Structure 1
Amino acid sequence: MKQLILDVRPDFTPSLANFVPGDNAPLIAALREQLSRRDGSLLYIWGPTGSGRSHLLLAAIAEIQGQRPSRLVSDGDDMASPGDQGLLCVDDLGAQSEASLAELFRILINARERQQSLIVAGSEPPASLVMRDDVSSRIAQGLIFEMRPLTDEQKIETLMQHADSRGMRFTREMVGYLLRRSRRDLPWLMAVLDALDEASLSLGRPITLPLLREILRAE
């Protein structure tokens, strides 16, 4: 039984298709436009941890896979140019080292000539970034969007609709438990529901709170 649970544990790849925009529809439209630009332009996305910034950067890279060079800089990666006509995505700008920021400045200066574009994410608006002025001023010249996290009620309604679309009998009590005991980013929560449905079918067990607890322990 444990192996069956592990076989259907949540697993998903961030994409624009599985990102629920909520109040962020204008941001998603701007991001899609940015994916096709090769004019040295920059899109800056800011918002708190868990708002979906990293999801969008990973989704952006996946969206253009095979169409143009791309590079994602995150978690201490070295800053480097994506190449001519490339897209550079930089996550958690405020955590980048001085050396990385110096290289980012060079990339920004040459981006138009090399027909590149950038999508950068951080936890603060440009005016609040504590970093070298030449980088923050360049960031401030780009297109800026604040991420607007989904409210709990929006998450509950989305999850209930997702469960209903799969013919699942999923109660609001179970949704509340899921929100309290699991990661709170919506794609992950929806992946948990998918895993719960698969486990129910594989094990021949009804969808219940105990089964949900087993799924979450298998994360």
Structure 2
Amino acid sequence: MRQLILNIRPHVECRLDNFVPGDNADLLAALAQQLARRDGSVLYLWGEAGSGRSHLLHAAVAAAHQRPAQFIAADAWQTPIETDGALIVVDDVQATDAEAQGDIFRALIRARDLQSSLIIAGDAPAHRLPIRDDVSSRIAQGLTFEIKPLADEQKAATLLQHARSRGMTVGPEIVNYLLRHGRRDLPWLMAVLDALDEASLSLSRPVTLPLLRDIIKDATPAQTDNNA
């Protein structure tokens, strides 16, 4: 049974159309527009852990058709590409070191000449970021949105609707346990429900709390550490 559970781990494909907007409709519209801009502009998104920052950034790179796009995480820094028309996407800017901040500053300065654009995300407003002042001030000059998290009631309603769409019978105890013990971002929570449904069918077991605990417990670190 354990091997079956291990083979049905939650996986999230980061797309713009599977991010539940809640009160973020204007943000998503601005993000879609930024994907097409080649004017040196920067869009800054900030929000608390679990608000969906990383999901939106990965989705933006996936949606950047017909142009070079680069996703860079603070904990795996790469020098931004200097390619005409590129989209540079930087996650967790608050965690970047001095070298990375220098790279970001140069990318911001050169973006207009290269007809590039940037999307940057962090955990606080630009003026409160613990980074170089010249970098934070450049970021603050762009369009800024706070990612507004869904309330637990909104998450619960969305999860129940998602379960019904799969033909699952899910009691409130399942959803409540997910909200208390799972990650906070909704796409991951929905992926857990998908994995729970698949495990239930594969094992010919009903959807129960013990089965849900097995799914969450056996999720790999690579699938649980990206909770922004």
TM range (shorter): over 0.9
- Measured after TM superposition, the shift of residue 217 of structure 1 is 2.2
> Given the alignment of the two structures, is residue 143 of structure 1 paired with residue 143 of structure 2, yes or no?
yes
Q: Which amino acid aligns with 1:71?
A: Q
Matched with 1:31 is 31
> Given the alignment of the two structures, is residue 52 of structure 1 paired with residue 52 of structure 2, yes or no?
yes
| Distance (whole Å) between structure 1 residues aligned to residue 134 and residue 12 of structure 2 | 38
Q: Which amino acid aligns with 1:70?
A: A
Matched with 2:100 is 100
Q: Any residues of structure 2 matched to 1:120-159 within 5 Å, and which?
A: 120-159=120-159
TM-score, structure 2 as length reference? 0.91
Q: Which amino acid aligns with 1:73?
A: I
TM-score, structure 1 as length reference? 0.95
| Distance (whole Å) between structure 1 residues aligned to residue 217 and residue 121 of structure 2 | 31
Q: Relative to 1, partners in 2 of residues 1:96 and 1:199: Cα closer, same or farther, differing over 3 Å?
A: same
| Distance (whole Å) between structure 2 residues aligned to residue 34 and residue 186 of structure 1 | 24
> Which deviations, in whole Å up to 9, do the C-alpha atoms of 1:90-136 show, x marking residues without a partner?
11112111122122111111111111000001111122123322212
Matched with 2:222 is none
Q: Which amino acid aligns with 1:68?
A: R
Matched with 1:200 is 200
Q: Are the aligned partners of 1:73 and 1:89 in contact in 2 as well (CA < 8 Å)? A: yes
Q: Which amino acid aligns with 1:202?
A: S
Q: Any residues of structure 2 matched to 1:60-209 within 5 Å, and which?
A: 60-64=60-64, 67-74=66-73, 75-209=75-209
| Distance (whole Å) between structure 2 residues aligned to residue 59 and residue 82 of structure 1 | 21
Gap runs ≥5 in structure 2: 220-228
Q: Which amino acid aligns with 1:106?
A: R
RMSD over aligned CA atoms reads: 1.3
Q: How many residues align?
A: 218
Q: Which amino acid aligns with 2:156?
A: I
Q: Are the aligned partners of 2:51 and 2:184 in contact in 1 as well (CA < 8 Å)? A: no
Q: Are the aligned partners of 1:93 and 1:121 in contact in 2 as well (CA < 8 Å)? A: yes
Q: Relative to 1, partners in 2 of residues 1:82 and 1:153: Cα closer, same or farther, differing over 3 Å?
A: farther
- Measured after TM superposition, the shift of residue 82 of structure 1 is 4.8
Q: Which amino acid aligns with 1:182?
A: G
% identity of equivalent residues: 60
- Measured after TM superposition, the shift of residue 81 of structure 1 is 2.6
Q: Which amino acid aligns with 1:9?
A: R
Query: SS where residue 107 of structure 1 aligns?
Result: helix
Q: Which amino acid aligns with 1:165?
A: S
Query: SS where residue 17 of structure 2 aligns?
Result: coil
Deviates more, 1:128-137 or 1:141-150: 128-137
- Measured after TM superposition, the shift of residue 207 of structure 1 is 1.4
